[in-house]
Structure 1
Amino acid sequence: MVYLDLLFVQNVLMDYLLLSLTSTWRHRPVRKWRLWLAAFLGGLYVLFFFFLAFGFLYTFITKILFSCIMLMIAFGFGDWREFLRLVSTFYMTAFAVGGGVFAFYWLLQSQVDVLYHFHVLRTMDMTQLSVVFVLAAGYPLSWVFAKSAYRSLQNQKLKWDHLIRVEGAISGQFFHCIGLVDTGNQLYDPLSRIPVMMAEISVFPFLPQQIRRLVEESNQPHFLPELDGLDDLWASRLRLIPYRTIGQQQSWLIALRPDRLSLWTSEKVCETKKVLIGLTSTPLSSDGAYQAIVHPSLLQYQAS
């Protein structure tokens, strides 16, 4: 007898586990309700197996599409590359967990149980051709998936090791974000030689509209800042920093001087006032993992 309610709960819990592990291994924090919603959908999917009218949902293509829908519900969709990494990690997690459960199951079996299962396998309607196909295609595909997922996780770990928590205040308004420590960032204010940290303007929702407009227009050629009407409090914090990127003409970076800046690494907390924050309207990370690029010299200012 098949208890559909128990089967449903079991699959919801298993899908939640797989999605949680995917979130952990990809370092993609996500709200719990999104994981539960995606897992609930996965639990519903297995129930369709018992209704002949929904047999079309159990083809190879629809299974892949259904798992992609679950991942979209749980993690959203940023770009194709990051989403494919999520799919790869999800399936490798499923293979690893499924293999572990299968191995543990066989570990607990007696000799009689093992012989019985071999008898069942021998009497199944499986042609030699299908066995050869499974062996010929399954192992190489598993190897490709494993190698790709491992390389992706290693790259993600390398990036994650350089991510830190950033907190600060500008004119009494607090902000926080995740920053990537980039050793290649050697941008300084040419006049004061103060290091410049880049940050997405979305981190600072309290900025006046005029500063936001300046940031949007600063990438345009022949940019001339219009500061008329800007509050003196903000004007005193504003800096225009000339910079040039590869293959582009000289541009202007709109930067602000904060009240303070705190950087939280795994080993220490660094605080400084000697920093400028360059603003950009362009996302710094394709997958949203960080919203700022931290100047490496800022890590020398350890909090007292």
Structure 2
Amino acid sequence: MAVYLDVIWLLNFCFDYMLLALTALFLKRQVRKRRLAIGALIASFYVLFLFIPVLTFMVNPIIKLLYSLVIVSVTFGFNRFRSFFQCWLLFYFVTFMIGGGMMGAHYFLQQDVTVYNGAVATQGTGFGDPVSWLFVLIGFPSIWWFSKRRVDTLETTKIHYDQLANVVIHIDDHTISAVALIDSGNQLQDPLSGSPVMILDMTVHAEHFPTTFIEKAKNVTDFQEEGEVDKWEHRLRIVPFRAVGQDHQFLCAIKPDEVVISMDDGAITVKKVLVGLSFHTISGEKEYSCILHPKMLTGHKATAS
């Protein structure tokens, strides 16, 4: 059997480079390509050591451990022990994640059990299932790309959940609790009083409001018509707003007694605010049912919760 050592080394160099690059992405570090290349070069030399009889001691787990420390120190440098240790652990995490993903995909595509003349037979070589180079060439970049996208999605989700807060709306003796999204793009406010307008999803919280009140809130024109008077009718407000591609829109809002926003560093009580009533779902995944105005978080002192 002929072994093309140069081809094996080149493939390992490319794979090591991608592993180090993915580690740098996870660490959010700007690492020069030159350092990545040098680190990948040192890592790829390990393949050559396996074919040199005098260097068989390199297969020892302790030597492998020390060798990986050299790779990480050359690529990412050594400033503090803690940060270096995190880089080293993340490098192993990325390696195991990519390798585990490839082995999982390999066994997922394998068909080890067949039926022959009514009998179930299993296939095996006795030395495990060999992975073809073609599968490695296609599978490695695919798993690399998939892992990067998943981590990006997790980071986006984390940022998204960092912008969530718990709110409690007090109206007379009624209390409405909701999870709110802090939306910096929400600049809606009442033109008369200047009060910021937060949005409440009525498809979730309609049960807290009287039926007559909801009917009036759904139809702005009903405000001018005579009918059954609701106890909260004096709290209703009409707020004009603009949407993309639409002008002269109106939103029904209610004036609460106060809104309490619970944050990590305490609670904020806001009295000058209007609660806009949306009869359309504002979160398809039901992650939140309220949208806060950023002005509600400024100019108010947070109290310990």
Deviation at 1:226? Answer: 5.0
Aligned length: 186
> What do residues 25-63 of structure 1 show as CA deviations (whole Å, max 9, x unaligned)?
xxxxxxxxxxxxxxxxxxxxxxxxxxxxxxxxxxxxxxx
- In structure 2, the residue matched to 1:211 is 213
Q: Which structure has the larger Rg over C-alpha atoms?
A: 2
Q: What aligned pairs does 1:82-93 form with structure 2 within 5 A after superposition?
A: none
Maintained 8 Å contact 1:227/1:235 = no
Q: 1:227 to 1:139 in 2, by over 3 A?
A: farther
- In structure 1, the residue matched to 2:153 is 152
> What do residues 257-293 of structure 1 show as CA deviations (whole Å, max 9, x unaligned)?
1121100111221002111000001111222111111
Maintained 8 Å contact 1:215/1:280 = no
Task: For 1:246 and 1:126, locate their aligned partners in 2 and report how far apart those are by CA, in whole Å.
Answer: 57
Alignment of 1:250 with 2:252, yes or no, is: no
AA aligned opposite 1:191: L
Maintained 8 Å contact 1:179/1:294 = yes
Q: 1:99 to 1:200 in 2, by over 3 A?
A: same
Maintained 8 Å contact 1:185/1:296 = yes
SS in 2 for 1:236: helix
Task: For 1:250 and 1:302, locate their aligned partners in 2 and report how far apart those are by CA, in whole Å.
Answer: 35
Q: 1:137 to 1:242 in 2, by over 3 A?
A: same
Q: 1:265 to 1:179 in 2, by over 3 A?
A: same
Deviation at 1:190? Answer: 0.7
- In structure 1, the residue matched to 2:292 is 294
AA aligned opposite 2:209: L
Q: 1:137 to 1:283 in 2, by over 3 A?
A: same
AA aligned opposite 1:228: E
Deviation at 1:213? Answer: 2.8
Task: For 2:201 and 2:149, locate their aligned partners in 1 and report how far apart those are by CA, in whole Å.
Answer: 31
Q: 1:297 to 1:99 in 2, by over 3 A?
A: same
Maintained 8 Å contact 1:166/1:263 = yes
| Residue ranges of structure 1 left out of the alignment (5+ in a row) | 1-94, 103-120
Task: For 1:169 and 1:97, locate their aligned partners in 2 and report how far apart those are by CA, in whole Å.
Answer: 51
In the superposition, the TM-score normalised over structure 1's length comes to 0.54
Equivalent residue for 2:127, pick from 124, 128, 141: 124
User: What percentage of residue pairs aligned between the two structures are identical?
Assistant: 30
- In structure 1, the residue matched to 2:198 is 197
In the superposition, the TM-score normalised over structure 2's length comes to 0.54
Deviation at 1:124? Answer: 3.4
Maintained 8 Å contact 2:238/2:250 = yes
Maintained 8 Å contact 1:256/1:276 = yes
- In structure 1, the residue matched to 2:236 is 238
Task: For 2:98 and 2:258, locate their aligned partners in 1 and report how far apart those are by CA, in whole Å.
Answer: 46
Maintained 8 Å contact 1:175/1:204 = no
- In structure 2, the residue matched to 1:180 is 181
Q: Which has the higher contact order (CA 8 A, sep 6+)?
A: 1
Deviation at 1:230? Answer: 4.2
> What do residues 192-217 of structure 1 show as CA deviations (whole Å, max 9, x unaligned)?
11111011012241212233234444
Q: 1:214 to 1:155 in 2, by over 3 A?
A: farther
Q: 1:214 to 1:231 in 2, by over 3 A?
A: closer
Higher strand proportion, which one?
2
Task: For 2:126 and 2:287, locate their aligned partners in 1 and report how far apart those are by CA, in whole Å.
Answer: 51
AA aligned opposite 2:133: V
AA aligned opposite 2:273: V
Maintained 8 Å contact 2:201/2:281 = yes
AA aligned opposite 1:161: D
Task: For 2:237 and 2:128, locate their aligned partners in 1 and report how far apart those are by CA, in whole Å.
Answer: 75
Q: What aligned pairs does 1:277-288 form with structure 2 within 5 A after superposition?
A: 277-288=275-286
